[in-house]
Amino acid sequence: MTTIVKAVQTCHACPSQWDAWTDTGQYLYLRFRYGYGSVESQPGPDVDTWSHQPTLVASFQDEDGWAGEISLEEFCERAGLTLKGDDHG
């Protein structure tokens, strides 16, 4: 299971998104828009370094296809991620 130890929210709604780091130091991009949540593995938060074909770590679909706002706690629960520590928001 993937454990998030740090998350920085970069957008609150439409999409809700975070830069996140795991307990192994891996960077993940978390995004929720149009009812779809995705977790991508990328080299780091600098979009200029991102792969055009990222590794999809997890995803989920909401029943409301218009949904674009979600809390970090709910996102992690629905994506199967463990949220640990106090350094997120």
Strands (E), 1-89: 3-11, 16-22, 27-33, 36-41, 55-61, 82-88
Query: Which residues partner with 7 through β-bridges?
Result: 20, 88
Q: How far is CA 42 from CA 13, 20, 26, 65, 82, in A?
A: 21, 10, 8, 26, 19
Indicate whether 17 pLDDT > 70: yes
pTM reported for the whole predicted model: 0.91
Residue-wise pLDDT for 45-78, tens only, equals 999 998 888 899 999 999 999 999 999 999 999 9
Domain of 48 in residue numbering reads as: 3-88
How many domains does the chain contain in total? 1
Residue-wise pLDDT for 22-44, tens only, equals 999 999 999 999 999 999 999 99
